[in-house]
Amino acid sequence: MPLVAENGMDWMYANCSTTAQRGALDWWKKFRDATLPVFSDLYKSVATGVESARSIDLNSKPDYREKLEVELAELHNSEMWQAGRTVRSLRPENQPGK
């Protein structure tokens, strides 16, 4: 993400294929609308202290690390993360001899 951090998302879109640009134009509002309720709930949970209270409570238990590892393994083994690992492995810099 260094190029995005340096130049911004508008630069990234301007330098993507027209197929990617078309997809972004066609789908961004649908994704915004679909995720808005989730982010609203998250922000409310943070603002009211629910998130920090949950972290303090769970991380204060003697077996917190074991339970955390189980939850992290579920995320690590999810289809989305497996797809990400596969895609990253196909990058040119990750090919043998590079």
In-domain check, residue 2: no
Number of domains into which the chain is organized: 1
Is 89 within the bounds of a domain?
yes
Give domain status of residue 43, yes or no: no
Average per-residue pLDDT for the chain? 92
In a domain, 93, yes or no: yes
Q: What's the pTM?
A: 0.62
Measure the CA–CA gap between 35 and 32, rounded to whole angstroms: 5
Q: Is residue 13 part of a domain?
A: no
| pLDDT confidence band for 98 (50 / 70 / 90) | low
Whether residue 56 is contained in a domain is answered as no
Q: Please write the tens of the pLDDT for every residue from 51-91.
A: 999 999 999 999 999 999 999 999 999 999 999 999 999 98
Q: Nearest to residue 69, comparing CAs of 58, 79, 80? A: 58
Domain that holds residue 78: 63-98
Q: Does any domain span residue 19?
A: no
